[in-house]
Amino acid sequence: MPKNQQFKEFQEHSVAEFFKKNRQMLGYSGKIKSLTTVVHEYVTNMIDAVEEEEDNLPEAFVKIEEMGPEHYKVIVEDNGPGIPENYIGKAFGQMLAGTKFHRFMQQRGQQGIGAAGAVMFGQVTTGKPTKIITGQGDGKILECELSIDVKKNRASINNKKTYSGEMKGTRIETELKNVLYQKGRYGIDEYLRRTVLANPHLKLTYVDPEGKTIIYDRAVEDIPPKPKEAKPHPRGVTVDDLLGYALRSNSHKIKSFLRNDFTRISGKKVKEIQKKISFDLNKMPKDLKWDEAEELVQTFKETDFMRPPTDVLVPIGKKRLEKAVEEQLEPEFKQVVERKPKVYRGGVPFIVETALAYGGKAGNNNGDNEIEIMRFSNRVPLLFNKGTCAITKAVKSVDWDRYGIKDNTPVTILVNFTSIHVPYIGAGKKSIAEEEEILNEIRLSLMKTGRKLGKYLKGKRRQRKRLQKKKTFEIYIPEISKSLSEITGKKEEEIKKHLQSIVKQRFSDIKEDE
Amino acid sequence: MPKNQQFKEFQEHSVAEFFKKNRQMLGYSGKIKSLTTVVHEYVTNMIDAVEEEEDNLPEAFVKIEEMGPEHYKVIVEDNGPGIPENYIGKAFGQMLAGTKFHRFMQQRGQQGIGAAGAVMFGQVTTGKPTKIITGQGDGKILECELSIDVKKNRASINNKKTYSGEMKGTRIETELKNVLYQKGRYGIDEYLRRTVLANPHLKLTYVDPEGKTIIYDRAVEDIPPKPKEAKPHPRGVTVDDLLGYALRSNSHKIKSFLRNDFTRISGKKVKEIQKKISFDLNKMPKDLKWDEAEELVQTFKETDFMRPPTDVLVPIGKKRLEKAVEEQLEPEFKQVVERKPKVYRGGVPFIVETALAYGGKAGNNNGDNEIEIMRFSNRVPLLFNKGTCAITKAVKSVDWDRYGIKDNTPVTILVNFTSIHVPYIGAGKKSIAEEEEILNEIRLSLMKTGRKLGKYLKGKRRQRKRLQKKKTFEIYIPEISKSLSEITGKKEEEIKKHLQSIVKQRFSDIKEDE
């Protein structure tokens, strides 16, 4: 090759081209997984959309139609606010565009990739655009066909028509080929079942490819509070983030920038910080140098701050989760733990919730002799890539044996990770990265549930032992009664009754039906 | 929130912003992993660069300097062609730009993200740019400091200077904070050791943070052939790909397009295809419709084609791999299998190589009682995310027990996956997606190595049993000799010698030293 030849081949390519070529990074590898991923992206988007409106209980419709061998149509409809005409392209036909990426707010989606990825997957497997029908409840309905101009990463919209009619919400229809519908732990049925488990306020109607309709009614009727947009917490913010915030700040002094743009930094705290650092906080935020920012971050680490406010995070909630676990798993024993909010890298607040269910329908029914783990992030079920997920790692790091929990103990563990920003390992949002603080919190909550179940199991074992003892005594009563009767001359029946009453008294804690 | 409020927040963001916020997707999570990832990106880039030139044996220098607590400098230097001034920005400071993405050619890098990601990680943890020194062997040396304008995804280059001097190659220096150097299976030492194992033609000098210099000399002196740029193979091409190729084709008819732009489609094959399909292949490629392309793809599937040519793929090679395994693991038994090339999705050719080593230094020394698996893709070691990798899945799917291989058998399995395009699960290129064809090939090659080792172990067990038998005989020889001597009157010593010679003869296959 002549000198510098290869540099002449330099090209730029769009993010859509990148993900088209590497669609497996978005979860499009494997026929079953690909179909579930499309449903996952649309359902996630949908619930987020509905929850943008206050006082709107989400109602969703999901239908999978079989069109031919390995050929399906996915239809998802919601009762959300609908999409204005001029935003449809950005919402569904352009990657890295959206409302969610720059927000510091708990949402299911966060990248502005997912829905466009599903549209693109439909397009590259069938050559067909995605149909979108949307209404904002103002008597007008908009219908169009949308595809992605992959080279430009821009939507191309065709056959647009507006007509009169009553509709509030959005309906998406995408055809897919080279995918497969199957029941089982990686299929849509399981995905939706878990979605309902973590979103008990959702009403979901699901029509499967055989035409069977399953209606999941709401387990609770109250709308969960809408998460507030958050400010970063000083503990754990990085130098680079701090400089980025400073650059975007409207404040004229670093002092006011710290007070306004962070949570939990009061005027008093600013004074405390000023005392510890070497430069004047009266300078302009944009004049903050790297070394100074580094000093500030170090000082943050050595300063006590209140925990981040809880209203920016909306976990499922202890009662709701208990109710959902009760209804879905009917366990013999359950334990739900909700930890206090913590922060990880960049001052990002998060909350870990853990539920442990024992007996009933709990436990892994797949015959692989492992504890069943249900993973969720911001209430979204994570079915794939369990091997690399912080939740799985945390579960495996706990010494369950210590609590009397073995591989074949019928246990289901549910972990919901709630955060402003979930550090997903891949753009496909299938598993959570092992940030130390996250791993630690999950571990602690698991150990707490483990201890509780351990106590319960110990009690159960003790009971079982005492029951055996009781039974042993009971077996020997006739023989002993007989010989005592012979020795003492008393009536055998009388002695028997007496002995039985002694046994009954001493083992009064044992239930008869066990 | 007022109606349509959230849509006013719509924003677009650059791919660099995306990966800055989601740096864990590029492998930047965890202190040890982050440091190894930077080295991985630079070393991968470096060997690719050197191999762009024919007849250039790669020589690399890697140095890790400890600058403070969790603060290091990574220096990587190669003897490649150097980088022209006007391409430095695109090569190191812009994501999704490069020579590799659009090529249909086997390379280590393929995304145009990795090196820029490493530069960005240095920049966001230290605030400092990456220093680049490069020369093309023409008496001029160029030095500059490079950082990324994240919002624009463009390089910003400062302090550029050109001076005289002899240099051919490129040197990169990046400072990093919040990272940690550690030995062990996820550290740089192990990464480089495996790099050398899969690239026995590389000379590598490595200076670790303690200042210790390790020189890996070449195990082989011959330069591996440079992989040729490939054309797609018709078997397995998707409809969308076919239409994409057709659109970019210079041919005036589909007939010539098929012959020119694909491998293994001869004029004869075109005729065969024309007979099977419903439309005329004399039309222009750009006029190809989706349905027609679909028909063509279906016809490709039903037509026999020769396997893809092998010269587009350059695996490590059986002899080289045997030599490398021999030198690094000194095993008692080894078996290397190289499969024939196959294709997966999109007509992408690939080759699987597997080495199995038993005894010596082979086996997992980490005490977790698992078979050691060394994963490689295009000769690049994969240290992380093993749980989601097709290679791990394939290894776990094999019934090793059948071959007498248990968890504690000292076995190391090495798999190198060679392809034009590796379907990585994430942008961090840590693991290979489970494409069916890939999984299958790896499985088949593993089963072959397993059978061979099984035979060897069976032989060994038989030998051990016969050795025991022999020893048993030998123990009784004195006693028997004595009693025979008493009965027959013959000399005891004579009988003993006779019996010993019988035993020796009958167990002539048993080595004395065992």
pLDDT per residue, tens digit, chain B (514 aa), is 456 666 666 677 889 999 998 888 899 988 999 999 999 999 998 988 888 887 888 999 999 999 999 999 999 999 999 999 988 998 898 998 876 666 667 777 777 788 999 999 999 999 999 999 999 999 999 999 999 999 999 999 999 999 999 999 999 999 999 999 999 888 999 999 999 999 988 999 999 999 999 999 988 888 888 888 888 889 878 899 899 999 989 999 999 999 999 999 999 999 999 999 999 999 999 999 999 999 999 999 899 998 888 788 999 999 989 988 998 889 999 999 999 998 887 678 899 999 999 998 888 766 556 788 999 999 999 998 888 899 999 999 999 999 999 878 899 999 999 998 899 988 888 899 988 899 999 999 999 999 999 999 999 888 888 888 888 878 888 877 887 787 777 888 888 888 888 888 888 777 655 4
Percent of chain A with pLDDT strictly greater than 70:
95
Per-residue DSSP letters for B320-383? HHHHHHHHHH--SEEEEEEPPPEEEGGGEEEEEEEEEEESTT-S--SSS-S-EEEEEETTEEE-
Q: Count the Cβ atoms, other than its own, within 10 Å of residue A19.
A: 25
Q: What is the pLDDT of residue B367?
A: 57
Q: Do A127 and B96 touch (CB under 8 A)?
A: no
Q: Which CATH number fits domain A310-456: 3.30.1050.10, 3.30.230.10, 3.50.50.60, 3.40.50.10490?
A: 3.30.230.10
Q: Do A243 and B4 touch (CB under 8 A)?
A: no
Q: A343-364, pLDDT tens digit by residue?
A: 887 678 899 999 999 998 888 7
Q: Which of residues 276-315 of A touch B (CB under 8 A)?
A: 290, 293-294
Q: Please, which residues have CB within 8 angstroms of residue B140's CB and are 6 or more apart in sequence?
A: B162, B163, B164, B165
Q: For an interface test with B, give the residue of A125, A126, A388 to mutate (most B CBs within 10 A).
A: A388
- Break chain B into its structural domains and give their ranges: 15-216, 239-302, 310-456, 466-506
Phi-psi region of B70 (alpha: psi -120 to 50; beta: other; left: phi over 0): left
Q: What is the pLDDT of residue B54?
A: 77
Q: Do B25 and A124 touch (CB under 8 A)?
A: no
User: Can you read off the two tokens belonging to residue A498?
Assistant: 């007496």
Residue of chain B nearest A226, judged by CA positions: B1
Q: What is the pLDDT of residue B371?
A: 83
Helices (H) and strands (E) in chain B, counts: 13, 16
Q: What is the pLDDT of residue B9?
A: 67
A116 Cα to chain B: minimum distance (Å):
13
Residue carrying the six token digits 């058998």: B409
What is the DSSP pairing of strand B342-344 with strand B154-164? unpaired
Per residue, the 3-state secondary structure of A93-112, as one string, reads HCCCEECCCCCCCCCCCCCC
Q: Which of residues 6-35 of B touch A (CB under 8 A)?
A: 6-7, 9-15, 17-18, 21-22, 24-25, 29-30
Partner-chain residue, chosen from B18, B126, B392, that has the shortest CB–CB distance to A96: B18
Residue carrying the six token digits 């050691």: B372
Instruction: Name the CATH architecture for the domain at B239-302.
Output: Orthogonal Bundle (1.10)
| Strand locations in B26-139 (E) | 59-68, 71-78, 97-98, 130-136
What is the DSSP pairing of strand B348-358 with strand B333-338? antiparallel
Terminal-to-terminal C-alpha distance of chain B: 82
Partner-chain residue, chosen from A3, A111, A392, that has the shortest CB–CB distance to B81: A3
The one-letter amino acid code at B497 reads: K
Task: Inform me whether the C-beta atom of residue B440 falls under 8 Å from chain A C-beta atoms.
Answer: no
Task: Inform me whether the C-beta atom of residue B4 falls under 8 Å from chain A C-beta atoms.
Answer: yes
Percent of chain A with pLDDT strictly greater than 90:
57
Contacts A–B by Cβ distance under 8 A: 186
Distance CA A425, CA B19 (A): 11
Q: Please, which residues have CB within 8 angstroms of residue B392's CB and are 6 or more apart in sequence?
A: A387, B373, B375, B386, B431
Q: Which of residues 91-150 of B touch A (CB under 8 A)?
A: 94, 96-99, 101-103, 111-112, 123-128, 136
| Strand locations in A305-360 (E) | 333-338, 342-344, 348-358
Q: A269-322, pLDDT tens digit by residue?
A: 999 999 999 999 999 999 999 999 999 999 998 999 988 887 889 999 999 899
List CB contacts (< 8 A) between A124 and chain B: 238, 240
Taking a C-beta distance cutoff of 8 angstroms, is the pair A194, A376 a contact?
Answer: yes
Distance CA A499, CA A475 (A): 11
Helix (H) or strand (E) run with residue A377 in it:
strand A372-377
Is the model more confident about B39 or about A224?
B39
SS3 A66: strand
Distance CA A62, CA A78 (A): 9
The one-letter amino acid code at B340 reads: K
Distance CA B53, CA A110 (A): 43
List CB contacts (< 8 A) between A136 and chain B: 3-4
A82 Cα to chain B: minimum distance (Å):
9
Task: Inform me whether the C-beta atom of residue A238 falls under 8 Å from chain B C-beta atoms.
Answer: yes
CA distances to A358, B180, B227, B236, B252 from B286, in Å: 61, 54, 30, 21, 9
The C-alpha angle B423, B424, B425, rounded to 5 degrees, equals 115
Q: What is the pLDDT of residue A53?
A: 82
A11 Cα to chain B: minimum distance (Å):
5
Q: A136-177, pLDDT tens digit by residue?
A: 999 999 999 999 999 999 999 999 999 999 999 999 999 999
Q: Which of B419, B396, B411, B225 is nearest to B339 (CA)?
A: B419
Q: What is the pLDDT of residue B511?
A: 66
Task: Inform me whether the C-beta atom of residue A207 falls under 8 Å from chain B C-beta atoms.
Answer: no
Q: What is the pLDDT of residue B500?
A: 84
Taking a C-beta distance cutoff of 8 angstroms, is the pair A22, A101 a contact?
Answer: no
Q: Do A4 and B81 touch (CB under 8 A)?
A: yes
Q: What is the pLDDT of residue B153?
A: 93
Q: For an interface test with B, give the residue of A1, A5, A9, A24 to mutate (most B CBs within 10 A).
A: A24
Distance CA A10, CA B101 (A): 9
Q: A19-33, pLDDT tens digit by residue?
A: 998 888 899 988 999
Q: Which CATH number fits domain A239-301: 1.10.8, 3.40.50, 1.25.10, 1.20.120?
A: 1.10.8
pTM: 0.84
Q: Do A111 and B17 touch (CB under 8 A)?
A: no
The yes-or-no verdict on residue A70 having pLDDT over 80 is yes
H-type alpha helices, A94-231: 114-126, 188-198
The yes-or-no verdict on residue A465 having pLDDT over 90 is no
Distance CA A411, CA B448 (A): 39
Is the model more confident about A3 or about A350?
A350
Q: Do B29 and A423 touch (CB under 8 A)?
A: yes
Is the model more confident about A34 or about A54?
A34
Q: A466-482, pLDDT tens digit by residue?
A: 888 888 878 888 877 88
**B460: Cα within 13 Å, side-chain hemisphere:** 14
Q: Do A98 and B11 touch (CB under 8 A)?
A: yes
The pair phi, psi for residue B11, each rounded to 5°, is: -140, 155
List CB contacts (< 8 A) between A84 and chain B: 4, 7
Taking a C-beta distance cutoff of 8 angstroms, is the pair B119, B174 a contact?
Answer: yes
CA distances to A153, B12, B13, B14, B147 from B152, in Å: 16, 11, 9, 6, 12
Q: B53-62, pLDDT tens digit by residue?
A: 878 889 999 9
The pair phi, psi for residue B202, each rounded to 5°, is: -90, 135
List CB contacts (< 8 A) between A128 and chain B: 290
Q: Please, which residues have CB within 8 angstroms of residue B503's CB and are 6 or more apart in sequence?
A: B470, B473, B474, B477
Q: What is the pLDDT of residue A310?
A: 76
Helix, strand, coil shares, percent, chain A, to 5: 40, 20, 35
CA dihedral B326, B330, B332, B337 (to 10 degrees): -30
Q: What is the pLDDT of residue B1?
A: 45
Phi-psi region of B93 (alpha: psi -120 to 50; beta: other; left: phi over 0): alpha
Mean pLDDT of chain A: 89
CA distances to A472, A496, B13 from B150, in Å: 77, 88, 10
User: Can you read off the two tokens belonging to residue A98?
Assistant: 């959206």
Taking a C-beta distance cutoff of 8 angstroms, is the pair A467, A510 a contact?
Answer: yes
Q: Do B123 and A240 touch (CB under 8 A)?
A: yes
Distance CA B81, CA B53 (A): 7
Task: Inform me whether the C-beta atom of residue B164 falls under 8 Å from chain A C-beta atoms.
Answer: no
Q: What is the pLDDT of residue B514?
A: 42
pLDDT band at A463 (very low <50, low <70, confident <90, very high): confident
Residues linked to residue A476 through DSSP beta bridges, in sequence order: none
What is the DSSP pairing of strand B59-68 with strand B203-207? parallel
Task: Inform me whether the C-beta atom of residue B240 falls under 8 Å from chain A C-beta atoms.
Answer: yes
Q: Count the Cβ atoms, other than its own, within 10 Å of residue B514.
A: 10
List CB contacts (< 8 A) between A424 and chain B: 22, 24-25
The yes-or-no verdict on residue A99 having pLDDT over 80 is no
SS3 B442: helix
Q: B132-146 burial by CB neighbour count: b if 16+ within 10 A, else e?
A: bbbbbeeebbbbbeb
A35 Cα to chain B: minimum distance (Å):
15
Q: A377-399, pLDDT tens digit by residue?
A: 999 999 988 888 999 999 999 99
pLDDT band at A101 (very low <50, low <70, confident <90, very high): low
Task: Inform me whether the C-beta atom of residue A250 falls under 8 Å from chain B C-beta atoms.
Answer: no
Q: Which of residues 167-196 of A touch B (CB under 8 A)?
A: 178
Q: Do A136 and B3 touch (CB under 8 A)?
A: yes
Distance CA A39, CA A50 (A): 16
Distance CA B491, CA B267 (A): 89
Partner-chain residue, chosen from A29, A53, A98, that has the shortest CB–CB distance to B434: A29
Question: What's the fold here for domain A15-216?
Answer: Heat Shock Protein 90 (3.30.565)
Partner-chain residue, chosen from B13, B96, B388, that has the shortest CB–CB distance to A101: B13
Residue-level length of chain B: 514
Q: A109-119, pLDDT tens digit by residue?
A: 777 788 999 99
Distance CA B277, CA B296 (A): 7
Helix (H) or strand (E) run with residue A299 in it:
helix A290-301
Taking a C-beta distance cutoff of 8 angstroms, is the pair A370, A413 a contact?
Answer: no
Distance CA A115, CA A137 (A): 23
Helix (H) or strand (E) run with residue A149 in it:
strand A140-149
Residue of chain A nearest B150, judged by CA positions: A244
